[in-house]
Amino acid sequence: MLRSKILNRIRLLKPVIDRRCMSSASKTPLTLLEVDDKSGIATLSLNRPPVNSLNIDLMNSIIESITEIEGNKSRGLILTSANDRVFCAGLDLNELHKPNQERLKEFWAVFQDVWLALHLCSVPTAAAINGHAPAGGCLLATACEYRVMLPQMTIGLNETQFGYMAPKWVMLSYLSVLPRRLAERALTQGKLFTTAEALDVGLVDEIAASKEEALAKCSTFIDSFSKANPLARSLTKKQIREPDVQKLIADRAGDLKECLEYINSPLLQDGLGAYFEALKQKSRSKAGKS
């Protein structure tokens, strides 16, 4: 009994670094997980340079970290980025453009899994959005219960801008934070909100001047549950989220089939190819390479 108490205490004191999913290039962990010894709040930092784009390994690392947080009795989860400019650039376009079909199936299944893991995470979740959060980056943030964002960043589901329609369950995340009329307009426009606009429409809850302040505000949100019974809180959250979650769970295979057909269609592949090339070109000109 005493031994397990001490082991628990050590686990809380010592930052836990997730080494299971490493970047193959640099052998650095793709997510960094630290549990604050005083507050018991876990901070999960996305750590896949240059822009935390979501490939299979990064998404698996996020899922493993969430499982670990739920197992180590952390009081809450703050999702943030180890990168000062980009929270998460969304799905890794390398996984979507001219994909290997077997890998694409696995990729899409893991994408569904990460959304479910964040949506159903039993502890309070908050996103400290310390950089841009387009598309899948916005999705990770909206799956959390609270969002604090740094100024002069952008966030939104901008899929239509590069020729794609967001899947139904992705749209549900938007509908959980935005009024329907606004969500429809923003989704169809593929709008990226500035931080100030995002606060104005309720896509984010607060603005913070620095990452430290964003983390502190997320902690304050998590502390607001101190009087709630953790099990009752978690069951209530699951109950409220159940209809959205069920829409995906009830037909995961159907969603996979539909999305794969859609992603593979030549017209969409061409559009995505042009978008990705423009992105690379912009990056090259920034670096003075062109």
User: Which of these ranges, 64-72, 140-148, 217-225, 280-288, lies near ligand LMJFFPRB under the rule CB under 6 A?
Assistant: 280-288
- The SS3 assignment for 167 reads coil
User: Which of these ranges, 39-47, 144-152, 218-226, 259-267, lies near ligand LMJFFPRB under the rule CB under 6 A?
Assistant: 259-267
Asked if the peptide bond before residue 50 counts as cis, ω within 30 degrees of 0, the response is: yes
Cα gap 151→207, rounded to integer Å? 7
Interaction between residue 186 and ligand LMJFFPRB (CB under 6 A): no
Max CA pair span of the chain: 64
Interaction between residue 9 and ligand LMJFFPRB (CB under 6 A): no
Torsion 132-49-165-169 (CA) sign? negative
Tokens 């009830």 label which residue? 250
Based on the residue annotation, tell me whether 91 is a catalytic residue of this protein. yes
Cα gap 28→22, rounded to integer Å? 5
Q: Which amino acid is at 201?
A: V
Strand bridging mode 193-194 / 154-156: antiparallel
Q: Rank residues 126 and 157 by Cβ distance to ligand LMJFFPRB and give the closer one.
A: 157
Neighbours of 28 (CB within 10 A): 13
Interaction between residue 265 and ligand LMJFFPRB (CB under 6 A): no
Least gap, CB of 255 to ligand LMJFFPRB (angstroms)? 8
Catalytic, out of 33, 159, 172, 199 = 159
Catalytic, out of 30, 46, 58, 91 = 91
Interaction between residue 258 and ligand LMJFFPRB (CB under 6 A): yes
Based on the residue annotation, tell me whether 136 is a catalytic residue of this protein. yes
Q: Which amino acid is at 38?
A: K
Interaction between residue 74 and ligand LMJFFPRB (CB under 6 A): no
Binding interface with ligand LMJFFPRB (CB under 6 A):
50-51, 53, 85-86, 89-94, 132, 134-136, 158-159, 162, 164-165, 167, 258-259, 262-263, 279-280, 282-283, 286
